[in-house]
Amino acid sequence: TVTDQSGNSSTCTATVTVEDNIAPTAVCQDVTVQLDAMGNYTLMPAEVDGGSSDNCGIASMSVSPNSFTCTEVGPNVVTLTVTDAAGNTATCTANVQVDASSACIPPSIANEGGPDIADPCTCAGNGWFAEEIVVTAPSGQTWQIATVTGLYSDLPGTTPYGAGDLLTEVPQGGGVSQYILMGYHYDGIGYYIEVESPNYPGLILSIGNTCYYPEPVLDLPAEICLFTPPLTLADYASVTGNPALESESFTINGTPATQLDPMAWGVGAVTVEYTVDAGTAGGGDPADPGCVATATQIVNIVETPSVVACNDNVQVSVDENCQAFIQPDDILEGTYGCFDDYTVELYNGFDPVPNPVDGS
């Protein structure tokens, strides 16, 4: 309406349109949800809304994706869309950790098939074995040690693993990862480990293993005399459990040998080593790791004693042929390293008697 000084007036009409061109402010928050007994969960927008706002008021909110099953256990990124009455929209993203329920098949744990160590009981030398713990589960999860004994992160076993140590994720593609832990354990002692993930409440995965090196044994005399005939080393060597061997060898003071000849080495101590190679490991067989092991024995070579003491009251038993063979160690008193350096001569008065003697 327009009015002049004389009071005359005139009117007209106009249309005024009020527009809201300001988009909402979308604010997200991260959440953790657990699947239901059927292995499903439907996410509501309000669960990830962290305080979104709009100058003229929010008309609606939606979240995508909003449906989760056992295949989505672990971290998931969702988008929250906020719309006001004028149709203006804004978005933000949130991380949704999905925890499994009893409806989900538990992940697997193994000690073979890892990316670095394929076979359990892999020889690491000096009685140690290398092994890789492998948990196969959806990608993006966290797996850690719950309890562990006998497993070390280094050689020669100075740093044991402990509760809370994390497994390393190695993605395999297709939304699946291997969570690995490489460690070392000792011959005949082994290890036991339990692992857990916050994405699987109450679930404990466990595995253990004990492996064995071949056990070579040397049983040479601790002392032999200078004139003792050469000893064939293989006659005094064995391997506990009789595993299949690829090779075996001997050294004396570091020199390859098959016999110990006292005359060749002279008086003094010599070190005999017996080394066995169990060859190729039997796949997944703790008793056949295919390792190399060595047994060592020190043998003293001595002069043949010239002064001896004899037992003057010897009793022997005859065999089924009514005979008895009298050995030097039947006669000598005390400990001698070389009975084979002595011979026994028998007399009845001044008359020689053959050895073996008969019961007559």
Look at residue 42 and tell me whether its pLDDT is greater than 90: yes
The answer to pTM > 0.85 is no
β pairing state of 292-302 and 223-225:
parallel
For residue 170, what pLDDT is reported? 96
For residue 342, what pLDDT is reported? 78
1-104 belongs to which homologous superfamily? Immunoglobulins (2.60.40.10)
Q: Assess whether the region 1-104 and the region 108-209 belong to the same CATH fold.
A: yes
> pLDDT for 90-117, tens place per residue?
999 999 999 999 999 999 999 988 899 8
pLDDT band at 340 (very low <50, low <70, confident <90, very high): low
> pLDDT for 276-291, tens place per residue?
988 766 655 666 667 8
Name the residue ranges covered by the structural domains of the chain. Answer: 1-104, 108-209, 215-302, 306-360
Compute CA distances 27 → 23, 35, 47, 50, 90, whole Å.
Answer: 13, 25, 12, 5, 9
Percent of the chain with pLDDT over 70: 95
For residue 257, what pLDDT is reported? 97
Mean pLDDT of the chain: 91
Name the architecture of domain 108-209.
Sandwich (2.60)
For residue 307, what pLDDT is reported? 79
CATH class of 215-302: mainly beta
> pLDDT for 148-195, tens place per residue?
999 999 998 899 999 999 999 999 999 899 999 999 999 889 999 999
Distance (Å, rounded) from C-alpha 325 to C-alpha 5?
A: 160
CB atoms within 10 A of CB 296: 12
Distance (Å, rounded) from C-alpha 300 to C-alpha 221?
A: 9
For residue 347, what pLDDT is reported? 87
For residue 286, what pLDDT is reported? 61
Eight-class DSSP state of 325: P
Look at residue 344 and tell me whether its pLDDT is greater than 70: yes
> pLDDT for 189-247, tens place per residue?
999 999 999 999 999 999 999 988 888 999 999 998 888 889 999 999 999 866 777 88
For residue 84, what pLDDT is reported? 95
Q: Report, as an integer, the average pLDDT of 330-351.
A: 79
For residue 353, what pLDDT is reported? 87
> pLDDT for 47-81, tens place per residue?
999 999 999 999 999 999 999 999 999 999 999 99
Q: Report, as an integer, the average pLDDT of 141-147.
A: 97
For residue 198, what pLDDT is reported? 95
Distance (Å, rounded) from C-alpha 199 to C-alpha 8?
A: 82
For residue 92, what pLDDT is reported? 98
